[in-house]
């Protein structure tokens, strides 16, 4: 049957392998199609097509307006006003404050999907970032078929913590493979809130629309915070305990009913949020798997694997046998690291407690990132508590970071936040940022060459505090 539509995006334009993305409207029934043969057309043309072939290019100046009208009607039905509820009063209060911003970002995404614009999603490579990508992917798998065929979405796992000029150059290369009516869209999940992203931000300025979902503290001089769709719980009365995975899920919930609860909970666990449901075994397992898969793609997907998509992660999560295999393997790696850690740690005695000091570089195995220091510190603490009657505190330094984990029973007297405040008082100029909660926290120094010295000072502060 002959169909009519607007060519909104062309992949590989001016080439024999051009793909035409066509948006059709028939009054409140937006539909996208892909054509790959027939006569050639350009972005903005209205065409007649049949069986994936473009048959003719038409004059129809009113068509683009009709598409806009259909899109508005579609969005009206898609976006409700009721904020998604996680089920925790603090979390839900922040969600309700950022809901309108999330919905506006959702409308932007729906527009890009409808016009098949190139969309690049970059997510941080840990349980939180990948949990956010999985939640968003669940929602898109629901949304995209409602409009038509799959669009032009590229998923990229981000290994660094900033959006660099190199990342921006890479994204522009991808976008340049398309001729699109709608500006390309860049979605960032769980990283980038640092002045080191400024060069990348400037490079894509005006060339991409950006939706930025992050929960890291907003530092002075960071230029991304003024972008239209920069959403961070810190701007809505929340803090980093409201994880980026949760935020991405909330964003996804503005246009979808997909069940993303597991990814929300796994992201809270993965980032040691104070809201983490520690008694949720399924989410614990998912969190550990996500941490492992994203830290060691080669182990999970074979050699030469450099990037991973949510679809690929889902193929592992939904395969019971593979899941168990990988979890067992991750546990072995974690156990080995804990053994090395027990051997290498320096132990300081305090009344009724031990303080363990450890250089994480001694513990890490080979090139991969697994285990991450946070998960390792928790595991090491559990091991110490399992072998000794006395309670323990672990102080771990890696690069510019110093992490602290204290046994819960010690946290009635000891508050890690007080320790961090004291570190800031003594080393004010050296501390870039620091935070956490009663039993766990971290500081980041401006200069990593000082982390050993400051870590030793932290041991002394802790000894004095208990």
**Closer to Mn ion at the Cβ: 190 or 430?**
190
Tell me which of 45, 70, 167, 190 binds Mn ion, using CB under 5 A. Answer: 190
Comparison of 262 and 384: residue with beta carbon closer to Mn ion: 262
Task: Write down the least CB distance from residue 214 to Mn ion, Å.
Answer: 8
**Sole binder of Mn ion in the list 244, 248, 357, 455 (CB under 5 A):** 244
C-alpha to C-alpha distances, 91 to 54, 99, 250, nearest whole angstrom: 50, 12, 11
Residues 102-141 that bind Mn ion (CB under 5 A): 128
Q: Token pair for residue 170?
A: 């890479």
Binding to Mn ion (CB under 5 A) within 258-277 occurs at 271
3-class SS letters over the chain: CCEEEEEEEEECCCCCCCEEEEEECCCCCCEEEEECEECCCCCCCEEEEECCEEEEEECCCCHHHHHHHHHHHHHHHHCCCCCCCCCCHHHHHHHHHHHHHHHHHHHHHHHHHHCCCEEEEEEECCHHHHHHHHHHHHHHHHHHHHHECCCEEEEEEECCCCCCHHHHHHHHHHHCCEEECCCCEEEEECCCCCHHHHHHHHHHECCEEEEEECCCCCCCCCHHHHCCEEECHHHHCCCCCCCHHHHHHHHHHCCCCCCCHHHHHHHHHHCCCCCCCCCCHHHHHHHHHHHHHHHCHHHHHCCCCCCCCHHHHHHHHCCHHHHHHHHHHHHHHHHHHHHHHHHHCEEEEECCEEEEEEEHHHHCCCCCCCCCHHHHHHHHHHHHHHHCCCEEEEEEEECCEEEEEECHHHHHCCCHHHHHHHHHHHHHHHEEEEEECCCEEEEEECCHHHHHHHHHHHHHHHHHHC
Residue ranges in 392-421 that form contacts with Mn ion under rule CB under 5 A: none
How many residues sit close enough to Mn ion to count as binding (CB under 5 A)?
A: 4
Question: Quick check: 45 binds Mn ion (CB under 5 A)?
Answer: no
Shortest spacing between CB 80 and Mn ion, in angstroms: 27
Q: Residue number with the shortest CB distance to Mn ion?
A: 128
Task: Give 180 or 232: the residue with its C-beta nearer to Mn ion.
Answer: 232
User: Minimum CB separation from Mn ion for residue 377, in Å?
Assistant: 16
Contacting range for Mn ion; rule: CB under 5 A; set: 188-196, 280-288, 377-385, 444-452: 188-196
User: Of the two residues 393 and 398, which places its CB atom closer to Mn ion in the complex?
Assistant: 398
Indicate whether 290 belongs to the interface with Mn ion (CB under 5 A).
no
Q: Is residue 214 involved in binding Mn ion (CB under 5 A)?
A: no
C-beta closer to Mn ion: residue 70 or 190:
190
For residues 30 and 372, which CB has a smaller minimum distance to Mn ion in the complex? 372
Task: Compare residues 128 and 430 and give the one whose CB is closer to Mn ion.
Answer: 128
Stretch that binds Mn ion, among 90-98, 186-194, 274-282, 375-383 (CB under 5 A): 186-194
In the complex, minimum distance from the CB of residue 243 to Mn ion, in angstroms, rounded to a whole number = 5
- 291 makes contact with Mn ion (CB under 5 A): no
* CB 271, min distance to Mn ion, A: 4
Indicate the residue among 128 and 167 with the shorter CB distance to Mn ion: 128
Least distance to Mn ion from the beta carbon of 389, Å? 35
372 C-beta neighbours (distance < 10 Å), count: 19
Which one of 60-68, 104-112, 138-146, 236-244 is the stretch in contact with Mn ion (CB under 5 A)?
236-244
- C-beta of 128: minimal distance to Mn ion in Å? 3
Q: Does 372 bind Mn ion (CB under 5 A)?
A: no
Nearer to Mn ion, 41 or 211 (CB): 211
Residues engaged in binding Mn ion (CB under 5 A): 128, 190, 244, 271
């Amino acid at each position: 049957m002959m169909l009519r539509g607007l060519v909104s995006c062309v992949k590989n334009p001016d080439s024999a392998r051009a793909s035409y993305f066509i948006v059709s409207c028939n009054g409140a029934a937006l539909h996208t199609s892909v054509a790959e043969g027939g006569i050639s057309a350009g972005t903005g043309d209205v065409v007649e097509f049949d069986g994936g072939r473009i048959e003719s290019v038409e004059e129809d100046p009113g068509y683009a307006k009709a598409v806009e009208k259909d899109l508005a009607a579609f969005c009206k039905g898609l976006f409700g006003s009721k904020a998604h509820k996680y089920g925790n009063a603090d979390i839900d209060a922040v969600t309700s404050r950022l809901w309108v911003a999330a919905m506006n970002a959702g409308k932007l995404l729906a527009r890009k999907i409808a016009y098949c614009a190139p969309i690049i999603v970059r997510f941080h490579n840990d349980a939180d970032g990948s949990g956010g990508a999985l939640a968003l992917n669940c929602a898109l798998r629901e949304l995209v078929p409602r409009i038509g065929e799959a669009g032009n979405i590229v998923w990229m796992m981000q290994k660094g913590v900033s959006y660099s000029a190199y990342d921006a150059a890479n994204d522009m290369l991808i976008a340049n493979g398309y001729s699109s009516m709608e500006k390309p869209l860049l979605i960032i999940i769980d990283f980038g809130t640092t002045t080191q992203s400024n060069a990348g931000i400037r490079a894509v300025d005006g060339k991409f629309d950006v939706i930025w979902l992050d929960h890291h503290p907003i530092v002075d001089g960071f230029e991304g915070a003024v972008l239209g769709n920069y959403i961070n719980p810190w701007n809505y009365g929340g803090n980093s305990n409201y994880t980026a995975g949760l935020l991405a899920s909330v964003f996804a919930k503005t246009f979808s009913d997909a069940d993303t609860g597991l990814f929300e909970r796994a992201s809270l666990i993965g980032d040691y949020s104070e809201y983490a449901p520690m008694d949720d075994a399924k989410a614990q397992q998912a969190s550990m798997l996500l941490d492992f898969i994203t830290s060691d793609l080669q182990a999970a997907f074979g050699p030469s694997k450099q990037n991973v998509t949510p679809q690929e992660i889902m193929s592992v999560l939904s395969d019971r046998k593979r899941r168990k295999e990988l979890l067992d393997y991750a546990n072995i790696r974690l156990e080995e690291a804990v053994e090395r850690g027990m051997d290498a740690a320096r132990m300081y005695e305090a009344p009724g407690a031990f303080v363990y000091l450890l250089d994480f570089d001694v513990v890490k195995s080979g090139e991969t990132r697994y285990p991450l220091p946070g998960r390792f510190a928790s595991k090491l603490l559990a091991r110490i508590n399992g072998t000794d009657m006395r309670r323990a505190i672990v102080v771990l330094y890696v690069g510019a970071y110093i992490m602290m984990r204290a046994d819960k029973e010690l946290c009635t007297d000891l508050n890690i936040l007080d320790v961090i405040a004291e570190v800031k008082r003594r080393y004010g100029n050296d501390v870039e940022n620091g935070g956490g909660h009663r039993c766990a926290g971290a500081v980041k120094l401006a200069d990593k060459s000082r982390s050993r010295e400051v870590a030793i000072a932290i041991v002394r502060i802790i000894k004095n505090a208990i």
